[in-house]
């Protein structure tokens, strides 16, 4: 038991520099404008198709793939937008990338990338 505790105590200081290095490397990539591996998946970016823009309701109808971050399967559904100007960035038929979160109990698009080429 004593030997195990000594081994753990000696190994801990070695683990922290490795974790710190990995975090610093990821941060350098973000600062330099490079995508960190798996960054889109981590932030919940979804590649999707715009179906409808409802300016009056402040909503977008989107056909999306699985949204793992929200525990949702692929489907077509309506989302509120964080900012009204997002509505004018897209039109029906656009291929878009977005991030959605639950905000005050409502699924809301918090980030929207400009439409991408088909």
Tell me what pLDDT residue 115 has.
Answer: 73
What percentage of residues in the chain have a pLDDT greater than 70?
60
Structure token pair of residue 77: 């559904």
CB 69 within 8 A of CB 44: yes
Tell me what pLDDT residue 38 has.
Answer: 41
Tell me what pLDDT residue 101 has.
Answer: 94
Report phi then psi at 35, rounded to 5. Answer: -80, 125
Q: Tens digit of pLDDT for each residue in 64-76? A: 999 988 899 999 9
Q: Which of 24, 10, 106, 19 is nearest to 57 (CA)?
A: 106
Q: Which of 36, 54, 53 is nearest to 45 (CA)?
A: 36
Q: Tens digit of pLDDT for each residue in 80-108? A: 999 999 999 999 999 999 999 999 999 99
CB 109 within 8 A of CB 64: no
Tell me what pLDDT residue 79 has.
Answer: 97
Structure token pair of residue 56: 């009056």
Q: Is the pTM of this model over 0.85?
A: no
Q: Tens digit of pLDDT for each residue in 4-20? A: 656 666 665 555 454 44
Q: Tell me which residue has tokens 């971050």.
A: 69
């Amino acid at each position: 038991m004593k030997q195990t505790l000594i081994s753990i105590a000696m190994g801990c200081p070695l683990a922290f520099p490795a974790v710190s290095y990995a975090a610093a490397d990821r941060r350098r990539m973000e600062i330099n404008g490079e995508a960190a591996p798996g960054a889109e998946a981590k932030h919940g970016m979804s590649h999707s198709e715009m179906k409808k823009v409802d300016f009056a309701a402040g909503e977008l109808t989107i056909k999306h793939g699985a949204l793992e971050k929200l525990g949702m399967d692929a489907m077509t559904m309506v989302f509120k937008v964080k900012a009204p100007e997002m509505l004018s960035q897209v039109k029906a038929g656009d291929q878009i990338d977005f991030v959605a979160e639950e905000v005050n109990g409502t699924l809301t698009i918090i980030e929207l990338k400009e439409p991408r080429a088909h």
